[in-house]
């Protein structure tokens, strides 16, 4: 098995997790909709991830919908005491697989109960409020009513910790006036660096930052730069992109997803990819260096 210790750990509220985690979105069917193509393989991937030392799994009950959480329960329940399951609410799926907002208080409450039921737990470790912007983008506006709904469920004991997803820095700060925020999950990678300042701000506060789509948004030129570095390091471009994120800031938690055992092993092996300061500077040039 792969040793994940070189990537270190980080604290989510009262939970300590390894910085290399796993995202369960791809365990459902294509586009995270419908049943998996191979349910037995999905179960096998989850079990190998945990056996390899992964103790942070990112999920949502609207993957499937319901499918991914049910597969997680089949594969891992009763859960290891050190396993942290992070879920998100705020979305739903149309009959055609379309992604729909589900942001009203009643919808958020129902989503929390759906997660509890399908994961087979009495309390959710971490729940992220996922805001639904246009496409992958964030949208401005207050999240107070929505986050207060989750904070009330936290007070009732159904949620241990809260986070936010697809949010602006202003929205993060607004959420913090309502309840403690233990993590932020936004689009961020080597080429998409809009959150550079936010990553650093959260690091200073001891708040986790979980980037999604770690390879999304690359142009051919940027892919070429990444591939050149990977070739020199005898690594894959994906491993280098993940290694860059791990070095970018100590609060970055990785949640790459896959339904393939080979791809899982490739992702986890990224912890052994050591990037020198010179290589970091070269890669920083792909997306523009951070301040």
Residues tagged active-site: 63
Residue 89: beta bridge partners? 129
Is residue 30 within 8 Å of residue 63, measured between CB atoms? Answer: no
Round to whole Å and give the CA distance between 283 and 28.
Answer: 33
- Inter-axis angle of helices 67-76 and 105-119, to 10 degrees? 30
Which tokens in the block code for residue 78?
Answer: 């009763």
Beta strand extents in the chain (DSSP E only): 9-12, 15-18, 22-23, 56-58, 84-89, 91-93, 99-101, 124-130, 159-165, 181-185, 208-209
Report residue 182: phi and psi, to 5°: -100, -15
Q: Is the peptide bond before 78 cis (omega within 30 degrees of 0)?
A: yes
Strand order in the sheet with 84-89: 22-23, 56-58, 84-89, 124-130, 159-165, 181-185, 208-209
Angle among Cα 284, 17, 61 to the nearest 5 degrees reads 95
Q: How far is CA 222 from CA 107, 248, 274, 289, in A?
A: 40, 18, 20, 14
């Amino acid at each position: 098995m792969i040793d994940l210790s070189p990537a270190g750990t980080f604290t989510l509220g009262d939970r300590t997790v390894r910085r290399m985690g796993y995202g369960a979105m791809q365990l459902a069917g294509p586009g995270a909709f419908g049943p998996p193509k191979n349910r037995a393989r999905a179960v096998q991937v989850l079990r190998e991830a945990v056996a390899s030392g992964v103790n942070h799994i990112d999920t949502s009950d609207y993957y499937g919908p319901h499918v991914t959480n049910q597969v997680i329960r089949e594969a891992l329940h009763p859960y290891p005491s050190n396993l942290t399951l992070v879920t998100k609410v705020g979305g739903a799926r149309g009959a055609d697989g379309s992604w729909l907002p589900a942001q009203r208080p009643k919808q958020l409450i129902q989503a929390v109960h759906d997660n509890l039921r399908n994961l087979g737990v009495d309390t959710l470790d971490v729940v992220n409020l996922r805001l639904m912007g246009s496409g992958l983008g964030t949208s401005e506006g207050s999240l107070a009513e929505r986050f207060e709904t989750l904070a009330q469920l936290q007070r009732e004991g159904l949620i241990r910790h809260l986070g936010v997803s697809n949010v602006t820095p202003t929205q993060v700060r607004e959420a913090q006036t309502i309840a403690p925020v233990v993590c932020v999950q936004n689009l961020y990678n080597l080429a998409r660096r809009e959150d550079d300042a936010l990553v650093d701000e959260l690091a200073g506060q001891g708040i986790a930052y979980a980037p999604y789509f770690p390879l999304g948004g690359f142009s051919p030129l940027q892919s070429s730069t990444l591939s050149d570095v990977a070739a020199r390091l005898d690594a894959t471009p994906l491993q280098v992109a993940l290694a860059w994120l791990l070095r970018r800031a100590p609060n970055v938690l990785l949640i790459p997803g896959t339904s393939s055992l080979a791809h899982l092993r490739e992702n986890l092996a990224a912890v052994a990819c050591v990037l020198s300061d010179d290589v970091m500077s070269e890669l920083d040039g792909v997306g523009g260096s951070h301040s």
